[in-house]
Structure 1
Amino acid sequence: MQVVATLSLKGGVGKTTVALGLAGAAQRHGVSTLVVDLDPQANATTALDPEPTTATVADVLDEPRRAVVERAIAPSAWGEGLDVMVGAEQTERHNHPDPGAAQLHRLDRALQRIAGELLSDGGEDGPGQERYRLVVVDCPPSLGQLTRSALSAADRAILVTDPTMFSVSGVQRAFDAVQTERERSNDRLQPLGVLVNRVRPRNTEHEFRITELRELFGPLVFNSVLPDRSAVQQAQGACLPIQAWDTPGAREVAAVFTSLLGRVLRSASRNRPAASA
């Protein structure tokens, strides 16, 4: 099970859009996926439109027992193969600025309750299918307990930014947060890369900022950028994945998310070691 956090310490850059786009790409390619909505705004939950649950991620962070985890997960309205650990405003009570180690590891403990779980034993056909091959954690745009909890549980972090004058400092702070959490509590955590969102073609300012990011962060900045397309907002407003929105702009955006999914899956070979028998 690969755990990926979408991270930004600057609001309004489209972090949730990236989480949803990656989840939609995974579903389209048959990769069983769980989206964990850690943002108290719960926008990912709204867009995924899951069935009602009797618990939320806030309850999971209160008590990460298996029974609570299961009550907080529901199928997404997007279709088979994509579930949601639903978000709620109450999650904000867990966003302490200086949490202790026990608080930080509650999400990791919760995800370990379902890691390695099989949908079937596979029978004579070989190993069974994992319940979730991918977990996408949508973080809030701040560095408190919630974001640090995601980094404590994640294998990879996608640093999301936009091509504005504040993007460099935002990416640097996010990168530093990943490095710090790796040293503190999670030595398997690595930055997957920097994804630049809402890029307009032939915009001189955007081109300048992307060049600046590449000079500072080198190959960590993805070659593919997400173009600024109205199809993204239209698909989210209809509670549909961008992959199901049939316009040229939507197809252009979906292609970037397919490429991102490939990078995520290729990184899985360097994940946590398999549990011993």
Structure 2
Amino acid sequence: MQVISVSSLKGGVGKTTVTLGLASAAFALHLRTLVVDMDPQGDATTGLGVEHGTNQSIAEVLRDPRASTVETVITPSGWTQDSVDVVDVIPGSPLAVNFDEPHPKARDLWRLEEALAHVEADYDIVFIDCPPSLNALTQTAWTASDQVLIVSEPGLFSVAAAARALRAVADANAERRDGELRAAGIVINRFRPQSIEHQYRVSEIRDMFGDQVMDVQLPERSSIQQVQGAARPVHMWPGEATQDMAHLFDRLLRNLLTHS
């Protein structure tokens, strides 16, 4: 089971869009997929067609990571109502903020990894949608992960946030017992090719981070908002622009699996 955190230390860069796009690509490959919504806003949960509840959420798993709790909380997504394939979710909840202190105890960071160990045989891949900070929820997600994919957009503040995230992943790996957390790289999202500013920032990002930047660039597409509003996977949405995005998510997932 491969566990991938999707992270940004700056909000508003489309991190959840990338999480859902990757989950859709995994769904299209018939991979048994679990999405863990660590963001208290719960946007990934909504995008997967799951209603928010207070008793069945990531907050319960972090409070009590035993197998019985995990099995109760895991919910089939709305994507798979007419499918035999598996895309499940551990729903997000505003209650998760109770587990997001800035300086967590080391023993608490292992709660999600302990929880996921109970379902390791049930899934091929897990995507964790992290909140846009480096507090306990993100640290807990990274502790349970094999890779961290950093999402950035072509803007000055996002470039700085990507640099901080790369340093933070390196620091987290140094503190891990197994030393097996790696930065999968930076994926540039919401790129507008006609924007001079975006062209400049993309060039800057590639100059700064070199081969740590993914070859795949995700353009800004209004159709993605329609897909998410309908709580459907991008691979099942009609339209040339949307299917172009689906192919890009396919490439991004292949890159992650190839280097896992």
Q: TM-score interval w.r.t. the shorter chain? A: over 0.9
Which has the larger strand fraction? 2
Q: Give the aligned partner of residue 56 of structure 2.
A: 55
Q: CA deviation at 1:228?
A: 0.4
Conserved in 2, the CA contact under 8 Å of 1:52 and 1:74? no
CA distance in 2, matches of 1:206, 1:9: 19
Q: Deviations over 1:166-189 (max 9, x none)?
A: 122110111111111101125111
**Structure 1 runs (4+) greater than 4 angstroms displaced:** 51-54
Structure 1 residues 149-160: aligned runs within 5 Å: 149-160=140-151
Q: Secondary structure at the match of 1:36?
A: strand
Q: If the length of structure 2 is used for normalisation, what is the TM-score?
A: 0.95
Q: Give the aligned partner of residue 188 of structure 1.
A: 180
CA distance in 2, matches of 1:111, 1:146: 15
Q: CA deviation at 1:16?
A: 0.4
Change (3 A) 1:245 1:110: same
Q: Secondary structure at the match of 1:197?
A: strand
Answer yes or no: is 1:249 the counterpart of 2:254: no
- Select 2:102's aligned residue among 97, 102, 114: 97
CA distance in 1, matches of 2:256, 2:160: 25
Change (3 A) 1:252 1:102: same
Q: If the length of structure 1 is used for normalisation, what is the TM-score?
A: 0.89
User: What is the RMSD computed on CA atoms of the aligned residues?
Assistant: 1.2
CA distance in 2, matches of 1:52, 1:21: 20
Q: Give the aligned partner of residue 8 of structure 2.
A: 8
CA distance in 2, matches of 1:149, 1:214: 29
Q: Deviations over 1:142-196 (max 9, x none)?
A: 1100000111110011000100111221101111111111011251110111000
Change (3 A) 1:11 1:51: closer
Structure 1 residues 1-277: aligned runs within 5 Å: 1-50=1-50, 54-79=55-80, 80-115=85-120, 117=121, 131-185=122-176, 187-268=179-260
Q: How high is the sequence identity, in percent, across the aligned residues?
A: 42
CA distance in 2, matches of 1:201, 1:217: 20
Say which one has the larger Rg: 1
Q: Secondary structure at the match of 1:40?
A: coil
CA distance in 2, matches of 1:247, 1:27: 19
Gaps of 5+ in 2: none
CA distance in 1, matches of 2:158, 2:257: 27
Gaps of 5+ in 1: 118-130, 269-277
